[in-house]
């Protein structure tokens, strides 16, 4: 069941909301938790009921292991628990990939048969690995399986995050006020959900139609010209941004309706002026997980620069592999690992060579960071390595530069001047070309210059992360509205939210999955 579906918005959500608060009122808090867990399992099983066996089995095993680790700080048991969780992911997500590569190298015919990837297995497994580590360290404990099941399966964050720690969410359910419908939480939650829905269904899905055809062409072996390649790459860059931003907002909004505040998972990453800042803004809970449980576990920056850079590279390589079983994802992770090494190395060099300080110009830093991210997204989106390399070759002009013939024919003498610079007339559609770049320009303005949900709802405390990000400045002081737009419980805001909600609902006849659901 998708957040952006008729079944969810008009049936599942209102029924679950009503049942949760009605049961809490007449049967008590524990019964309400049971109802919410049941609803969340129904939500998860909507795609394929057989997935429930894996989810429930995983919860039972990890709950038992967490209890044992809390009582007995046995490192071998912790390693066993982590290995068991990783084995589950490796089998379902990577067995086929490893078999194919083994067969390619050896000429054998190893096969694991058709393995169906359980939905959200990476998210709920990582969340439970964090729980095992926290139990081992004595940070958290859980003595009721029902509460643990709620921690893992709470539907707003079950499918694509944020990755939540037990101590972040479960204590919120201990307050009796969480079991009484709060109109303020309802208004805030629905407003944030409406903005997320608009981002997904109107913006992300709207620009997707200009990205998909280009990547389909390069993956099928066809060449595209430079402007078409950049149009497709930037369209996907913005599609992924608003798709994931929309999901993150919807998850936070849905949890807030129940009075639950989730951690921040997305904060205007395309405003970043360095690749390290990008990863502090993009999929924040995953970045934190990789830092805490892989990078630091490998030694972090404790053993010199070479070891630090090696740990960074390995961490990002594994982060790329987490996103998918394919060489393109591994290359994407390796790219970002290399980016981070260069970033840290350059910052170290600046401390020793002061005259290089001109490179601190934020606009230049932003441009370099953004272009590096776009190059990475090409590998992330293309389904074949050849397709990704072909796309990058086109982006640097290897296949020429073309303008649609319909546009060139209307330029008069300017057309001859353009042809003198090597720009030729092409057979691509003029209207599609114009619409592609209109979408790109408009969405870039929104992503770079407009405030995000965390900024707009800052006074309402939309997430568990408050001051660290909200007070950070963008490098667009003349254009940024981050400090001027603030949500309030007013008729004007209600009208605005109603309009964007209506626009989002009008697109429900063209439902599409969130891009991060495949991970």
Q: Look-up: residue for tokens 């909507």?
A: 46
The C-alpha angle 233, 234, 235, rounded to 5 degrees, equals: 90
List 165, 166, 323, 344, catalytic entry: 323
Q: Which residue has the tokens 């953004």?
A: 370
Tokens read off for 326: 């394919």
Active site residue 147: no
Strand partners of residue 401: 423
Smallest Cα–Cα separation from 454: which of 318, 319, 252, 279? 252
Orientation angle between helical segments 362-381 and 327-352, nearest 10 degrees:
160
Angle between helices 305-323 and 327-352 (to 10 degrees): 150
Cα–Cα distance for residue pair 490/493, rounded to 1 Å? 5
Are the C-beta atoms of residues 463 and 169 closer than 8 Å to each other?
A: no
Phi, psi of 423 (to 5 degrees): -90, 120
Tokens 């400045």 sit at which residue?
Answer: 473
Helix residue ranges per DSSP H, 170-297: 183-198, 205-208, 212-219, 226-257, 275-281, 284-290
| Dihedral sign computed on CA atoms, order 79, 82, 84, 89 | negative
Contacts of 373 (CB under 8 A, 6+ apart): 237, 269, 270, 275, 278
Q: How far is CA 408 from CA 123, 210, 401, 413, 430, in A?
A: 49, 21, 12, 10, 9
d(CA 404, CA 400): 13
Nearest of 454, 448, 493 to residue 474 by alpha carbon: 448
Residues known to be catalytic: 323
């Amino acid at each position: 069941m998708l957040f952006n579906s008729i079944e969810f918005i008009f049936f599942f959500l209102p029924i679950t909301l009503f049942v949760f608060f009605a049961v809490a009122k007449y049967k008590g808090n524990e019964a309400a938790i049971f109802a919410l867990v049941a609803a969340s399992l129904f939500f998860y099983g909507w795609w394929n009921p057989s997935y429930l066996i894996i989810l429930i089995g995983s919860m039972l095993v990890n709950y038992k292991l967490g209890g044992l680790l809390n009582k007995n700080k046995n490192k071998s048991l912790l390693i066993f628990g982590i290995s068991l969780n990783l084995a589950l992911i490796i089998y379902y997500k990577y067995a086929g990939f490893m078999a194919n590569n083994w067969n390619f190298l050896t000429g054998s015919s190893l096969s694991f048969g058709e393995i169906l990837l359980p939905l959200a297995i990476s998210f709920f497994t990582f969340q439970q690995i964090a729980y095992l580590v926290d139990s081992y360290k004595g940070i958290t404990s859980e003595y009721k399986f029902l509460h643990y099941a709620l921690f893992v399966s709470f539907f707003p964050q079950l499918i694509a995050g944020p990755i939540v720690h037990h101590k972040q969410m479960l204590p919120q359910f201990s307050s009796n006020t969480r079991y009484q419908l709060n109109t303020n939480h309802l208004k805030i939650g629905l407003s944030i959900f409406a903005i997320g829905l608009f981002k997904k269904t109107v913006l992300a899905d709207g620009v997707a139609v200009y990205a998909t055809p280009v990547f389909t062409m390069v993956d099928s072996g066809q060449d595209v010209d430079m402007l078409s390649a950049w149009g497709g790459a930037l369209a996907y860059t913005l599609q992924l941004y608003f798709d994931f931003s929309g999901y993150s907002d919807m998850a936070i909004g849905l949890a807030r309706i129940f009075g639950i505040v989730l951690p921040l998972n997305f904060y205007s990453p395309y405003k970043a002026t360095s690749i390290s800042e990008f990863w502090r803004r993009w999929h924040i809970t995953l970045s934190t997980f990789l830092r805490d449980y892989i990078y630091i576990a490998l030694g972090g920056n404790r053993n010199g620069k070479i070891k630090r850079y090696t740990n960074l590279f390995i961490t990002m390589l594994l982060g790329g592999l987490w996103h998918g079983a394919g060489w393109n994802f591994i290359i994407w992770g390796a790219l970002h690992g290399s980016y981070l090494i260069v970033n840290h190395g350059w910052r170290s060099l600046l401390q020793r060579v002061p005259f290089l300080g001109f490179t601190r110009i934020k606009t230049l830093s932003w441009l370099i960071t953004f272009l590096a991210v776009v190059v990475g997204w090409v590998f992330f989106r293309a389904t074949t390595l050849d397709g990704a390399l072909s796309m990058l070759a086109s982006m640097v002009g290897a296949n020429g530069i073309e303008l649609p013939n319909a546009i060139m024919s209307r330029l008069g003498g300017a057309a001859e001047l353009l042809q003198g610079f090597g720009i030729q007339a092409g057979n691509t559609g003029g209207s599609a070309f114009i619409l592609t770049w209109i979408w790109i320009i408009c969405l870039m303005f929104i992503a770079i210059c407009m405030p995000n949900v965390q900024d707009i709802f800052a006074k309402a405390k939309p997430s568990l992360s408050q001051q660290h990000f909200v007070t950070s400045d963008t490098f667009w002081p003349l254009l940024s509205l981050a400090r001027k737009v603030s949500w309030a419980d007013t008729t004007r805001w209600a009208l605005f939210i109603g309009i964007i909600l209506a626009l989002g609902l009008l697109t429900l006849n063209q439902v599409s999955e969130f891009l991060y659901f495949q991970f």
